Amino acid sequence: VRTAQVFREKSGINVLTGHRVERIDANGGAVTGLGPEANAFAIPFDRLLIATGAAPIVPTRSGYDRPEVVVVKTLEDTHTIKTRLHSGAVTKAVIIGMGYIAMEMAEALRARQIDVALVKPRAELLPWMDAELAATVRRELESHQVQVHTGFDAVRIEGQGGRAAVCDPGGTSLPADLVIVAVGIAPNSALAAEAGLTLGPAGSIAVDPRLRTSHPAIYAAGDCADAFHVVSGQRVWIPLALRANRAGWAVADHICGKPVALQGVAGTAVFKVFDLQVARTGLTAAEATRAGFTPAAVTISAPSRAHSYPGGTPIQVHLVGDRRSGRLLGAQMVGREGAAHRINAPAVALHAAMTVEQFSQTDLAYAPPFGPTWDPLLVAANQLVKKMKEES
Ligand X SMILES: Cc1cc2nc3c(=O)[nH]c(=O)nc-3n(C[C@H](O)[C@H](O)[C@H](O)COP(=O)(O)OP(=O)(O)OC[C@H]3O[C@@H](n4cnc5c(N)ncnc54)[C@H](O)[C@@H]3O)c2cc1C
Query: What is the binding site for ligand X (CB under 6 A)?
Result: 20-21, 51-53, 72-73, 101, 188, 191, 222-223, 239-242, 244
Q: How far is the CB of 239 from ligand X (least distance, A)?
A: 5
Q: How far is the CB of 23 from ligand X (least distance, A)?
A: 9
Q: How far is the CB of 383 from ligand X (least distance, A)?
A: 30
Query: Looking at beta carbons only, is 191 or 381 nearer to ligand X?
Result: 191
Query: Looking at beta carbons only, is 271 or 309 nearer to ligand X?
Result: 271
Q: Which among 313, 278, 269 has a CA at the least distance from the CA of 141? A: 278
From residue 367, give the alpha-carbon distance in Å to each of 364, 373, 379: 10, 7, 16
Q: How far is the CB of 389 from ligand X (least distance, A)?
A: 36
CA 87 to chain centroid, in Å, comes to: 31
Query: Looking at beta carbons only, is 24 or 176 nearer to ligand X?
Result: 24
Q: How far is the CB of 345 from ligand X (least distance, A)?
A: 18
Query: Looking at beta carbons only, is 109 or 191 nearer to ligand X?
Result: 191
Count the Cβ atoms, other than its own, within 10 Å of residue 320: 27
Q: Which among 158, 222, 141 has a CA at the least distance from the CA of 185? A: 222
CA 376 to CA 300: how far, in whole Å? 8
Q: Which residue is nearest to ligand X (CB)?
A: 222
CA 106 to CA 226: how far, in whole Å? 29
CA 93 to CA 213: how far, in whole Å? 42
Query: Looking at beta carbons only, is 24 or 231 nearer to ligand X?
Result: 24
- As a whole number of angstroms, the longest Cα–Cα distance in the chain is 70
Q: How far is the CB of 318 from ligand X (least distance, A)?
A: 21
Question: How many residues are there in the chain?
Answer: 392
Q: Which residues of 115-154 are buried (b: 16+ CB within 10 A; e: fewer)?
A: bbbbbbeeeebbebbbeebbebbbebbeeeebebbeebbb
Q: How far is the CB of 165 from ligand X (least distance, A)?
A: 25
Alpha helices in the chain (DSSP H): 4-11, 75-86, 100-110, 131-143, 190-194, 241-255, 285-290, 344-351, 356-360, 376-391
Query: Looking at beta carbons only, is 99 or 314 nearer to ligand X?
Result: 99
Sign, Cα dihedral of 224, 228, 231, 234: positive
Query: Looking at beta carbons only, is 280 or 305 nearer to ligand X?
Result: 280
Helix/strand/coil for 357: helix
Query: Looking at beta carbons only, is 239 or 376 nearer to ligand X?
Result: 239
Q: How far is the CB of 19 from ligand X (least distance, A)?
A: 6
Query: Looking at beta carbons only, is 189 or 284 nearer to ligand X?
Result: 189
Q: How far is the CB of 181 from ligand X (least distance, A)?
A: 12
CA 117 to CA 158: how far, in whole Å? 16
Please classify residue 377 by burial: count the beta carbons closer than 10 Å to its beta carbon, then call 0-12 exposed, 13-18 middle and 19+ buried. buried
